[in-house]
Structure 1
Amino acid sequence: MRIFNLINYLMKKHIFFVIFSIFMGVLTIISNVGMLSTSSILISRAALHPEVLDLMVLIVAVRFFGISRGVFRYLERFFSHDTTFRVLSSTRRWVYKNFNDNYSEGHEGYKTGDIYTKIVKDVDVLKEFYLRGIYPLFIAILTGLVTVVVLSYFSIPLSIYYILFYIGCGFILPLALFFLSRRLIQKESQLKEELNLILLDFLKGVVEASIYSLKEEFNDKVNYLMDKLSEIEKKKNFINAVGDNLYSLALSLLVLLSLVITAPLIVEGRLEGIYYAMVPLSIMASFEALIPMTNVLYKFKEADNSGKNILSIIGIENKRGNNRENLNFSNNVIGKLTSQSSLSIDYSNDIISNCNLSVNNLSIYNSSKKFLIRDLSFNLPYGKKIAIVGTSGSGKSTVLRALLGFVNFHRGDIKIGGRSYSQLDKEEIRKFFTYVEQNSYIFNTTIRENLLIAKDKAEDAEIMEILRKCQIDTLIKELPDKLDTITGQYGFKISGGEKQRLLIGRALLKKSKIVLLDEPTASLDTKLEKKVVDFLHSSIKDKSCIWVTHRLISMDRMDEILVLNQGEVVERGTHKELLALKGRYYKLWSLQRAEA
């Protein structure tokens, strides 16, 4: 229910528009009641052949209610949608801010499609909850109360029957239909999520699907899911059809009951005959407020499910140090999160004076409580170089992702320039780093545009100089479109080694203080690797560097080497010191020399 607390708070921020929208919605229904009521009275009175002047008030009233109904409906739609989009905007800012701050790659069980669904589709569901859930509920309640008061003027028993039928049709019947179809809704949601994942996986792997002839398998899966969804839809439609018929039957019975109750009153002279048609028409018009009520419970359920999805993916139980930081939904905290100013932190008067980096007793574990990193500590004074080496799965890359804020740490602390990460905005932290990973993303656009991501105002001469040092300028010059060559989806039009050199060039275009290198030369042959390594060292000689690798090349240039095994530092020192130890590092180094 935490997500409802958030939405309620956001609604309170726009309380004037919320109340005005609901008020306009009630007036719309009342205007419809008034128009049908006065029309029936006008027709009944006109049948008695009175003077025309006696009908003028009723004629004006019919025209007034007819015009006002359209005006109130327009105002209700305008302000309700305006308020809804305001709330949606604030909710999106809150979700994306928290996703950016709290999501950790240490989460298990989430695929790309899961994340896409949760942070896009589920946020939009919250908009529907406000527009299709909250509004109709309040409008139905207020309309029913007003109509009961009006009907009680004519007949107390009739008003009692009305409220019973009104509650039955507007609240009990939708509740019964919801319980009948909730399992279908849950199954439908699961099937749609599975379908979304399959479609996304296919789109991402469309090239591989074509190469390995997986289209038939994909079609079979999609058709199977679509058939299941069709079956569920038929069952839901049947339940809704039964509900609609019961609703119409109940309304017809109430109209008939109103005629039976008011007929004796007219015979006895306690009620004028001109009101005989007005009462049932007023009842029918007021039931317009109940039409959206069948969807209210569905919207509440969808919003609850979407809220749970959102909170799970952004890391509701965010942990730093030894403290668990549960999201606080108090007015002050949410107000900060939803305000524009909270989205960017002003460091203009508090610039980090240096880029000394320190990691103190850092521990990271996954959702299974298995340690990825355990009690890691090191200092990186500005301008120094550290290498982190070890076999695959030892936790090397996790260290870099923790430094960038992509993985939440559970114990310990990281400081940059003497400031703890808990005091800094993640986007501001990432400005200090250049990150080159083994599988960086290549966009399906030109080579130039892929490089300009790092420095949008870089000139072609500067770009080509960087590419020359990365040993890829010759290839670019031989291409027909040169820098305007399209790389293809995930860069499939260029080889792995060429892509890796291109990524290194892109990273080095960025002006940053600390360079993080994660297996930057893994796709290169030995001869080319030595040239690129020399270029990298010359390019970062005035910067700090953390070099993650399992290929021990030019390690003598490092100020310190950390040897990781299952997330723990088992050896540390310079290249010369570690060789003298004749431990794990020495074995790795000796093995690679033998293979060379």
Structure 2
Amino acid sequence: MDENIKKIIPFARKYDFHIVWNIFFNVLYALFSTLSFVALFPLMEVLFKMNERVVALPKYEGILELGTYGKQYLQYYITKLSEENGPEYALLLTVSLVISTFLLKNVFNYAASQHLMKLKNGVLRDLREKMFNKIIDLPISYYSEKRKGDIMARMLGDVNEVQNSFFMVLELIIKEPLTIVFAILAMLKISLELTLFVFVFIPISGFIISKIGKSLKSKSQRAQKENGYLISVVEESLTGLKVVKSYNAEPFFKKTFIDSINRLLHLNNSIGKKNNLASPMSEFMGIVVIAILLWYGGSLVLVDKTLNGALFIVYLGLAYNILTPAKAISKASYQVKNGLAAAERVFEVLEVENTIEDKVDAVELQDFKNEINLKNINFSYGEEPVLKNFSLTIPKGKTVALVGQSGSGKSTIANLLTRFYDVKNGEILIDNHNIKDVTMKSLRDLTGLVTQDSIMFNGTIKDNIRLGNLEATNEEVINALKIANAYEFVKDLPSGIDTNIGDSGNKLSGGQKQRLSIARAVLKNPPIMILDEATSALDTESERLVQDALENMMQNRTSVVIAHRLSTIQKADKIVVMQKGEIVEQGTHEELLAKGGTYSKLVMMQSFE
């Protein structure tokens, strides 16, 4: 069994009820699919007056004689009806029998399809839920190496492909094979010689059809990977549309997109060609078998006279009845290959090891009481070290600012404090608890983060502010906006806090978005605040408003401020100057100016600018 089929089984087990009923109704469908053709035999016997006269009810003599018993039982009633009421009543009985078997066959097919639909849709929902939970839980480091578009393609396109193609396995192993088996059993009962003759040609047909779809799975994988790349190109182009247009880079991105869709066109055409060949090829091979049957069976009826003519017509109907499931099997087997390729990409994400998880015995941090200690930390994103033997103590209620040139490791400290990344060597302690030993929820409940990029979501101002406290009232939201100096512009908006701010907050200015992100942190009300260059992208007026908001927010809180503009951190209790991952100076603004070292030079450079 394919590994991906084994992996999908736990998802399907939740819907055992629907699987059992689907199998049950498929068995009945397959049985009545054969009986519907067998029922044609008494009809033709009545029409051509070939039926035997049976004047006594037959006796049941065991399951092995069930076919003979059924035939004689039916012939008894046909004989009785013909004698009592005339042949038209016998004809009516046999026509009703044919209609009833075809009706039941389709009723069972509908019932089986209903249960299969509920199984497929249920597993689709569960797979999407698990996939989304996984991509939300995976650490940020995972996405630094992956295209977001590819993850989206797996989440949406590949999971859909699993739903559409994968559960055809149930059709492949139950419905269609049983339809063929029941038909062949009836054919063997009618003519052993003719059926053995058919068996010579069926394996040849199957071999030819299987050759067509041999490379389908690998091509499907390549097509799905290309589809992920295509979504990435669209997503990146839309995200960076201002840059694309300002640099007149539209031709480059158009060419990248066209190259991708051309590769996808070639792959999809190749896959489609093989998929489209499956049905006509299997039907043609079936018709070839039927044609040979007509020749060979016709000679048994007309020349050898060893086969009843009416039975031969029923036999041909049964042989043709094999064609439909045979076509379905060949087509479904190709689609299952697509499903297997898609499932492989889905499970590739689901099975990624999460390197940043809570320990089994992780404890809850209830409160922050004393200090944060960073001890002898070494860290690198790749080979080049970003932090080297870094140690720092941040007492409760104090503001510590980290300054230095780009690449000195300032933002890395913010990533490590929030456990977006884990330290390689050394440890980070909050009240003597290693943050690796506490639950991430309790750690992040204690921290608030305001970054340079004010990340907003398409929704109302209220919804964006309440992310950290979903139970907050409108009054609490407005109070947070006032502390963040944001209510002055929010109150003038058409719908106030219920105003939609657009995709990524694109209806607002940079300064307005930044003040909203501060309001979000204020409403969360954590004891530890981390500000990662929160004013570096703002104009002077916006910076003043945001700086006032930050000072309001930092009152009575422990704050770690990562700053580019030194004018914003002059009131910090301690300023730590970093260079190439190491601390070169630390002290208050006045103390560091008096030293005339690195900090003093940075201040002079910014003053000159």
**Given the two structures, how large is their TM-score scaled by the length of structure 2?**
0.76
Higher relative contact order (CA 8 A, sep 6+): 1
Amino acid at match of 1:179: K
CA-to-aligned-CA distance 1:483-523 (integer Å, 9 cap, x gap): 56654544444433333223222321223333221111213
Q: Which runs of structure 2 are paired with 1:259-270 in the superposition (5 Å)?
A: 259-263=294-298, 266=301
CA apart distance, 1:448: 4.8
Task: Look up the equivalent residue of 1:86 and give its one-letter code.
Answer: G
Q: CA deviation at 1:397?
A: 2.8
Which residue does 1:126 correspond to in 2?
A: 162
| 1:104/1:407 contact within 8 Å kept | yes
What are the ranges of 5 or more consecutive residues in structure 2 without an aligned counterpart?
52-81
Aligned to 2:526: 512
More deviation in 153-162 or 18-27? 153-162
The change in CA–CA distance for 1:71 and 1:569 in structure 2 (over 3 A counts) is: farther
* Letter of the 1:122 counterpart: D
What secondary structure is seen at the aligned counterpart in 1 of 2:49?
A: coil
Distance 1:409 1:4 in 2: 38
Higher alpha-carbon Rg:
2
Aligned residue for 2:167, secondary structure, equals helix
Measured in 1, the distance between the counterparts of 2:326 and 2:511 equals 65
Change in 2 beyond 3 A, CA 1:30/1:542: farther
Aligned residue in 2 for 1:337:
none
Q: In the superposition, relative to structure 1, how do residues 235 and 523 fare at CA in structure 2: closer, same or farther (>3 Å)?
A: closer
Contact 2:501 / 2:507 at 8 angstroms: preserved in 1?
yes
Query: Aligned to 2:115, which of 79, 92, 97?
Result: 79
Deviation sequence 1:277-322 (CA, Å, 0-9, x none): 112211222332233334445444444443444455567143359x
Task: List per-residue Cα deviations over 1:106-136 (Å, max 9, x = no partner).
Answer: 5444233222222332222322343234543
Aligned residues: percent identity? 21
Pairing of 1:35-434 with structure 2 (within 5 A): 35-48=36-49, 51=82, 52=87, 58-160=94-196, 162-163=198-199, 165-169=201-205, 172-179=207-214, 185=220, 188-206=223-241, 222=257, 225-226=260-261, 229-230=264-265, 232-263=267-298, 266=301, 271-313=307-349, 316-319=352-355, 352-355=365-368, 365-366=380-381, 371=385, 383-407=397-421, 426=440, 429-434=443-448
Distance 1:320 1:478 in 2: 43
Alignment gaps of 5+ in structure 1: 326-344
The answer to whether the 8 A contact 2:376-2:425 is kept is yes
Equivalent AA in structure 2 for residue 540 of structure 1: M
Query: Once structures 1 and 2 are overlaid, which stretch shifts more, 195-204 or 294-303?
Result: 294-303
SS of 2:354's equivalent?
strand
Shift of 1:62: 1.8
Q: Any conservation in 1 of the 2:29–2:175 contact (CA below 8 Å)? A: no
- Secondary structure of the residue aligned to 1:521 is coil
**1:424 & 1:129 partners in 2: Cα distance?**
43
Q: 1:476 to 1:108 in 2, by over 3 A?
A: closer
In 2, Cα distance between the equivalents of 1:415 and 1:135?
Answer: 58
1:48 is displaced (CA, Å) by 2.0
* Partner in structure 2 of residue 437 of structure 1: 451
Output the amino acid matched with 2:562.
Answer: V
With the length of structure 1 as denominator, give the TM-score of the two structures.
0.78
Deviates more, 1:549-558 or 1:197-206: 549-558
Q: Call closer, same or farther: CA 1:422–1:139 in 2, change over 3 Å.
A: farther
The number of residue pairs the alignment matches comes to 568
User: 1:26-77: per-residue Cα shift (whole Å, max 9, x none)?
Assistant: 4324322321332355235422276346557644542332121222112111
Q: Secondary structure at the match of 1:319?
A: coil
Contact 1:133 1:295 in 2 (8 A): no
SS where residue 353 of structure 1 aligns? coil
| Inter-partner Cα distance in structure 1 for 2:177 and 2:390 | 60
Classify the secondary structure of the residue corresponding to 2:141: coil
Q: Aligned-pair distance for 1:255?
A: 1.7
Compared CA separation, residues 131 and 3, structure 1 to 2 (3 A): closer
Report which stretch shifted further, 503-512 or 459-468: 459-468
Paired position in structure 2 for 1:590 = 601
Distance 1:78 1:551, change over 3 A: same
CA shift for structure 1 position 563: 5.1
Cα distance in structure 1, aligned partners of 2:462 and 2:288? 73
C-alpha separation in 2, matches of 1:362 and 1:40:
86
Distance in 2 between residues matched to 1:132 and 1:299, nearest whole Å? 8
Shift of 1:436: 0.9
